[in-house]
A and B are shown apart, each in its own frame.
Chain A
């Protein structure tokens, strides 16, 4: 168990290091931050001064190692815009983002899983067809289209809800619906196919053959098996709690991490972008770790300790 955890943690650290490196390389290759921040017609001396102030005149590998070294010491740098700590800028946006993504996650799970189970149990029925059509639509329609559609109906046509901003909880409804419905569709499709796969297994027939009532076959035998693949998707969704709302936050002018990212990228605000990417990588990796542990809990075949040898 300890070795299992150790290898997992090592792999997680490696993943994060790779993300950090990747972010560094892409950002440095995609334009000169000094020029962008100072503006195209800033005097060259001012730009040079900015460069040396932020260490941008050092050789790229020196910048890379000093950046990496700083991260290891917990220093994520400061915003090139206003000089504030990047980590502060990012963390103060997290509650706003979670205010969208957490309720959305609840919608995904509470709507998507029951819909998928119901569709699988009533395969080819009218209800199944309806669920699948909605699910495919939710799966293929990009979230900004769905978001604009909801705005059009509920804000413009009906005038029931505001179309953007963050003044009250009512402002959150449309972005939460946009995020939640799309994810629920994905989860419904996935749950349905996982259930259908399990319901076709011989052990389901065995349970019926020993006289277990159908309800109990579904809850006691099918669901625990179908949960195993479904947990992967949910884990992935948990991994996007911090950064999964970039598009929706932009559509609804919601001041969360996603919008900060868009602005920071446009401004080449290196420290902020890198800080967000690091945070995303960490949440993803944590979600993966949790999924792995859950796997072991749900599926005895994957439990680490081999007892057979005894």
Chain B
């Protein structure tokens, strides 16, 4: 059994920032990551980030990741465990970890969960055929391994992820037949959409995918136009010949571990599904377990980093490490989150967070 001040599960932007902050305040930290490298979703994001300068906007996601990983690796207060999956949290305060066929037990005083999110699926006939990928998988194949997912792609979803991954497909030399988007508006930033359109890719709003075609693999897709009530307009069906269908229809928090560990969940649409109920300081309904990043509500890497910092400072402070310095970091983080979520872009998140606070009052 290993004893440690704080165990952090997940080495994405949220977990990395939580580790750096808590360790800088003096806490001993173990960072647990199931993959063989740290960085989470950042390792495949080759585009320049949007957001504000404080959270490195204008820098490529991969470079932000490298920078954070270097800080973690050089910090003597942080022990990194790779290829290590956190399997369960038990009532006696033990976190069980499976690392290369070994079962390792850690007993932390506090825990920060930053497990991220998983890709959403939508319902249509043949959506299980090989050749239907989540957008993250397409990014992983292309940007991490240098492999094309196919020759010609139909992208479903024109949010930022759909637009960005379409652009990355073109950079990799893959054809993008079209982007279909159910809503009448493009969800992502217009700069991204214009860039794609200039390269000749049609962005078809008020359109959806009806089915995937193919026997053992995708050979095409049927798409159609929708009216204002999202009903299919008869006669507008058309077949596109593609060998790949990429779903960029959102993410949903990866809540298994917090759920199993006793944390209560609530369904909040604006935060992208079931999220662990937590307070302003990110503490879940289990005392001493904090949540940060996409797990706490799907948002962006910028807010994930700030939430990580917040959780790291709150946990370290609770253990008595440099309370004054910690308090200052906590205040800064609250301000940064407030700024990130201000304006029309943050309206959904703000609504989600206030719903969450209502639910929390009741439980």
Do A and B come from the same complex?
A: no
Chain B residues near A (Cβ < 8 Å): none
Chain A residues near B (Cβ < 8 Å): none
